[in-house]
């Protein structure tokens, strides 16, 4: 526990920006280097000094290289050794040197001259799209199918006039036959209905031209609402406006010149490009188009939700390349597939690909409300894959894109995370948002283009692919029977052959899903770590009770070096004191700054209100992907140590930990948290990724390898237990040698370093996952008291209220565990795990407990399993 600060006076956080050493002058034009401090880092001295010294003078890491397993040819195709050294470029810093003109007038009109010189013209964009889509075979067949469906539905209604006429005739014939009136009347009535239906059905054979024309008009209306009509003039005008706006509320928008060179090289291959960015803010739509426009790259067609199809604003979006699609493709009254809409959308995508147009698709489907990337949804991407596999086009180049903000223009998503319904977009909200933006500054933005890779090459590489089994077949047996850990790894992956041809629908879906996951993982890993991410993370999980400003700056420097050492890039540079004050200024609503009497030192305290904790957690999650694998290992240490304390036969008095058992625990936690953050690429095995994370922690000196004479003797059961596991697949480059690999994979025993710095590092890693584990354990406790079937919506609301109530009563360790995003993820994870069984009742989903979790004993095992990873 840190010493409480002396009596202090509250200071306005915004006054920090006016303190000596202005932040603006150092942050407006970011360089490629960053300042170094003379003192030794103290928070993360987990890495040995000799190991760390190698990274302190290293160059900025180059992120976004494509997978050398799935796309080895693409990895070498557009990359050369000079690309990483090209450095960063501030896109919105424009002056006369970026134009052909010089002089006073050129300086005054440099923005106007710059956009006028951009290479954008009508011939770059598609022609006759509407006509080609309407006349395509797919759309024409869908129109005929829909017309026949309507005709049959109409004809199945019995003709009432014919029925009445036949009934009267039947009554006349049967009048006077009293003995048989009941049975005869029923038979005659049945014959009447059948006759009328038969008569109507015969009529439907004739084509209904009126209905066909009606469906065609409906098709044209849907297409007109969907299609983008790019205007070069409006692109130039919008480029000029955005230069003005972005310079008013952003310090800078940084891109890497080398990454952009790879994108430019990809445009010369005469193949369609598909940009797959992460989605954090509404400004994402304009940001990518603006950057490409500034560098003479054709504007992409942007898939936007129809919630943005509002008057005036929708016209602007269409003119800039946006096309509107339904958020759910099956929005029919009866809940069935809308064949016509799917045909129109598929044909439109195919037509754009045929004309070599570029796409921008947000695989998450919506903006991230948690700061973490959502699991990918491959709906629109599947149409691109199907077009390629049908041979309509030769190839498609995929470009994942990472986007990082010091502060998003929305500020936060606290209202939605508290369970309030999302407000519908309108022209008024757009205008109000722009006015609000002009009054604030949102810091820096970083956009990273990953290396383009061939979709055709990726699909070809999936002929032999890894298909993980569902959690109900892997993790569930481990929870119910902890002694059966081997089940999780003995059948971890199933090989599927000939996936390229996709004759099987299940294999097709799996290949597309892995492609989407692959792109999202690369985009996430490409995201630069911003100053607000580091400061928010330190305040929540290192200094929750408050910290002196000087100590915060010291820890900030250490964290920065740890990020670089893991080959993740930073979205800032400059003196750490100024950068930290810049971050505190942007996080001003979430922190309290006190001016202490101790050397006139500032004391920083994170606010403990629910909205403040939610907002800090949003920005802190921007760094979670950097430490996620190590954090899972740190939490798994707790689970292994708990097992050792409950069963002395699994450990020794010296506290030695089996690396194999540690990895197995960690892999189980990776599967449990699969909806939170991706730990590995789809082509990697979780088992091997966890092994590598342990190796890194051993390199840091936090875990020590026991000497041979310290290793405990194994019982016969334990000796055979290790043989139950298959040899893990390696994840190394081809250049690495194999001489000592077999020896490295032999199980070894580890112990935790007793140095205070190392203990602090382990505790920090465990706290990073604290909110996730508390949300999942609380959800498991809530399941323990689950009684009857309930709709999924009602269950989600009740669980969310339960978590909020725990925070309000101060029963939670981490108040940020009560976000609505975590509630949704816990329910999804428990459904995959087999805790719940889904049943459809109309258009709603009802949840009820599976037979496995009807006994309270098994529900308690689920609670105990999750709690074993949490700090006591």
Mean pLDDT computed over every residue of the chain: 80
Using the predicted structure, report yes or no on whether residue 263 has a pLDDT greater than 50: yes
Conformation bin of residue 452: beta by default, left when phi > 0, alpha when psi is -120 to 50: beta
The predicted pLDDT at position 215 comes to 82
The predicted pLDDT at position 1 comes to 39
Using the predicted structure, report yes or no on whether residue 663 has a pLDDT greater than 60: yes
The residues, ordered by sequence, that sit 6+ positions from 410 with a Cβ below 8 Å of its Cβ are: 281, 282, 367
The predicted pLDDT at position 51 comes to 35
The predicted pLDDT at position 669 comes to 94
Using the predicted structure, report yes or no on whether residue 348 has a pLDDT greater than 70: yes
Alpha carbon of 619 to those of 279, 284, 723, 742: distances in Å? Answer: 14, 17, 44, 42
Question: Region 649-664: what's the mean pLDDT?
Answer: 74
Q: What are the φ/ψ torsions at residue 105 (nearest 5 degrees)?
A: -65, -35
Band of residue 596 on the pLDDT scale cut at 50, 70, 90:
confident
HEC per residue, 247-311: HHHCCEEEEEHHHHHHHHHHHCCCCCEEEEECCCCCCHHHHHHHHHHHCCCCCCEEEEEHHHCCC
What count of Cα atoms within 13 Å lies in the side-chain half-sphere of residue 859?
18
Long-range contacts of 833-837 (CB under 8 A, 24+ apart): 833/471, 833/472, 833/475, 833/476, 833/479, 833/672, 834/471, 834/472, 834/476, 835/783, 835/862
- Kindly report which listed range (30-44, 151-165, 678-692) carries the lowest average pLDDT score: 30-44
**Burial profile 16-53: b = 16 or more Cβ within 10 angstroms, e = fewer:** bbeeeeebeebbeebeeebeeeeeebebbbbbeeeebe
- Kindly report which listed range (338-347, 433-442, 599-608, 702-711) carries the lowest average pLDDT score: 702-711
Using the predicted structure, report yes or no on whether residue 451 has a pLDDT greater than 70: yes
Percent of the chain with pLDDT over 70: 77
The predicted pLDDT at position 110 comes to 92
For 510-563, how does the pLDDT look when each residue is reduced to its tens digit (9 = 90+)?
Answer: 899 999 999 999 999 999 999 999 999 999 999 999 999 999 999 999 999 999
Does residue 275 contact residue 154 with C-beta atoms inside 8 Å? no
Distance separating alpha carbons of residues 816 and 814, to the nearest angstrom: 5
The predicted pLDDT at position 647 comes to 63
Q: Which two tokens stand for residue 280?
A: 């954090």
Using the predicted structure, report yes or no on whether residue 791 has a pLDDT greater than 70: yes
The predicted pLDDT at position 527 comes to 95
Band of residue 92 on the pLDDT scale cut at 50, 70, 90:
very high
CB atoms within 10 A of CB 205: 8
The predicted pLDDT at position 777 comes to 95
Conformation bin of residue 785: beta by default, left when phi > 0, alpha when psi is -120 to 50: alpha
Q: Give the closest residue to 299 by CA, choosing from 308, 284, 283, 288.
A: 288
Band of residue 153 on the pLDDT scale cut at 50, 70, 90:
low
Using the predicted structure, report yes or no on whether residue 32 has a pLDDT greater than 60: no
Per the model's pLDDT, the better-predicted residue between 156 and 603 turns out to be 603
For 610-633, how does the pLDDT look when each residue is reduced to its tens digit (9 = 90+)?
Answer: 999 999 999 999 999 999 999 999
Per the model's pLDDT, the better-predicted residue between 717 and 661 turns out to be 661
For 702-743, how does the pLDDT look when each residue is reduced to its tens digit (9 = 90+)?
Answer: 999 887 545 555 444 344 333 333 343 334 433 344 434 344
Using the predicted structure, report yes or no on whether residue 697 has a pLDDT greater than 90: yes
State whether residue 74 is helix, strand or coil: helix
Percent of the chain with pLDDT over 90: 49
The gap from C-alpha 287 to its chain's centroid, in whole angstroms, comes to: 18
For 98-141, how does the pLDDT look when each residue is reduced to its tens digit (9 = 90+)?
Answer: 999 898 898 899 999 999 999 998 889 999 898 999 988 988 88
HEC per residue, 491-532: CCEEEEECCCCCCCHHHHHHHHHHHHHHHHHHHHHHCCECHH
Alpha carbon of 149 to those of 154, 465, 606, 607: distances in Å? Answer: 9, 40, 61, 60
The predicted pLDDT at position 285 comes to 87
Does residue 518 contact residue 373 with C-beta atoms inside 8 Å? no
Distance separating alpha carbons of residues 219 and 339, to the nearest angstrom: 11
The predicted pLDDT at position 412 comes to 86
């Amino acid at each position: 526990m840190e010493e409480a600060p002396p009596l202090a006076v509250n200071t306005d956080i915004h006054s920090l920006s006016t303190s000596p050493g202005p932040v603006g002058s150092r942050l407006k034009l970011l360089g490629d280097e960053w300042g170094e401090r003379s003192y030794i880092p103290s928070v993360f001295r987990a890495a040995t000094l000799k190991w760390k010294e190698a990274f302190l003078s290293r160059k900025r890491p180059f992120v976004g290289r494509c997978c050398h397993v799935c796309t080895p040819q693409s990895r070498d195709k557009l990359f050369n050794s000079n690309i990483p050294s090209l450095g960063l470029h501030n896109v919105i810093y424009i002056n006369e040197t970026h134009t052909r003109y010089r002089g006073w007038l050129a300086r005054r009109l440099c923005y106007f001259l710059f956009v006028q010189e951009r290479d954008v013209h009508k011939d770059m964009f598609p022609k006759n799209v509407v006509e080609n889509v309407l006349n395509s075979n797919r759309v024409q067949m869908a129109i005929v199918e829909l017309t026949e469906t309507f005709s049959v539905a109409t004809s199945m209604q019995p003709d009432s006039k014919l029925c009445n006429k036949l009934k009267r005739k039947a009554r006349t014939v049967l009048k006077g036959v009293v003995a048989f009136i009941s049975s005869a009347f029923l038979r005659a009535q049945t014959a009447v209905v059948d006759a009328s239906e038969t008569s109507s059905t015969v009529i439907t054979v004739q084509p209904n031209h009126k209905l066909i024309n009606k469906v065609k008009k409906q098709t044209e209306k849907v297409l007109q609402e969907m299609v983008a009509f790019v205007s070069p003039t409006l692109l130039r005008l919008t480029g000029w406006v955005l230069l003005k706006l972005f310079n008013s509320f952003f310090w800078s928008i940084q891109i890497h010149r080398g990454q952009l060179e790879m994108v430019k090289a990809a445009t010369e291959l005469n193949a369609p490009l598909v940009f797959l960015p992460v989605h954090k803010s509404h400004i994402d739509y304009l940001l990518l188009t603006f950057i490409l426009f500034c560098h003479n790259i054709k504007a992409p067609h942007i898939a936007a939700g129809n919630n943005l199809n509002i008057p005036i604003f929708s016209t602007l979006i269409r003119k800039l390349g946006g096309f509107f699609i339904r958020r759910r493709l099956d929005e029919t009254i009866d809940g069935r597939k809308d064949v016509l809409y799917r045909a129109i959308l598929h044909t439109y995508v195919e037509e754009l690909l045929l004309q070599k147009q570029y796409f921008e698709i947000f695989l998450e489907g919506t903006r991230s409300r948690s700061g973490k990337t959502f699991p990918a949804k491959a709906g629109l991407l599947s149409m691109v894959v199907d077009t390629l596999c049908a041979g309509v086009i030769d190839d498609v180049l995929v470009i994942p894109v990472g986007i990082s903000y010091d502060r998003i223009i929305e500020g936060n998503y606290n209202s939605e995370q508290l369970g309030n319904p999302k407000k519908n977009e309108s022209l008024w909200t757009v205008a109000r948002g722009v006015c609000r933006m002009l009054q604030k500054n949102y810091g820096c933005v970083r956009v990273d283009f990953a290396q383009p890779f061939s979709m055709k090459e990726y699909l070809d590489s999936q002929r032999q692919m890894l298909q993980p089994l569902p959690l109900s077949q892997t993790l569930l047996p481990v929870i119910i029977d902890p002694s059966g850990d081997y089940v999780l790894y003995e059948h971890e992956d199933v090989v599927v052959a000939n996936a390229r041809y996709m004759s099987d629908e299940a294999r097709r879906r799996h290949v597309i899903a892995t492609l989407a996951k692959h792109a999202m993982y690369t985009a996430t890993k490409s995201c630069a770590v911003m100053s607000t991410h580091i400061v928010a993370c330190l305040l929540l999980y290192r200094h929750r009770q408050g910290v002196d400003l000087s100590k915060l700056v010291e820890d900030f420097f250490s964290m920065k070096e740890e990020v670089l050492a893991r080959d993740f890039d930073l979205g800032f540079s400059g003196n750490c004191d100024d950068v930290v004050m810049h971050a505190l200024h942007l996080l001003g609503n979430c922190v309290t700054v006190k001016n202490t009497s101790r050397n006139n030192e500032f004391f920083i305290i994170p606010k403990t209100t629910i909205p403040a904790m939610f907002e800090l957690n949003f920005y802190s999650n921007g760094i979670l992907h950097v430490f996620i694998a190590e954090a899972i290992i740190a939490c798994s240490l707790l689970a292994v140590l708990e097992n050792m304390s409950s069963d002395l036969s699994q450990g020794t008095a010296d506290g030695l930990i089996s690396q194999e058992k540690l990895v197995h625990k960690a892999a189980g936690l990776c599967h449990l948290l699969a909806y939170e953050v991706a730990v590995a690429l789809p082509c990697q095995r979780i088992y091997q990724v966890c092994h590598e994370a342990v190796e890194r922690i051993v390199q840091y000196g936090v875990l020590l390898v026991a000497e041979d004479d310290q290793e405990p003797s194994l019982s016969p059961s334990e000796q055979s237990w290790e043989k139950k596991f298959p040899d893990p697949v390696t994840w190394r480059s081809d250049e690495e040698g194999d001489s000592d690999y077999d020896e490295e994979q032999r199980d070894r025993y580890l112990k935790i370093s007793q140095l205070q710095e190392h203990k602090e590092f382990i505790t920090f890693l465990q706290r990073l996952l604290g909110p996730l584990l508390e949300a999942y354990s609380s959800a498991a406790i809530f399941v323990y008291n689950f009684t009857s079937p309930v709709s999924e919506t009602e269950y989600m609301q009740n669980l969310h209220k339960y978590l909020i109530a725990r925070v309000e009563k101060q029963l939670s360790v981490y108040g940020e565990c009560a976000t609505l995003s975590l509630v949704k993820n816990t329910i999804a994870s428990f459904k995959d795990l087999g805790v719940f069984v889904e049943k459809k009742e109309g258009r709603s989903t009802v949840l009820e407990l599976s037979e496995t979790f009807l006994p309270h004993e098994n529900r308690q095992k689920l609670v105990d399993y999750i709690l074993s990873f949490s700090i006591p």
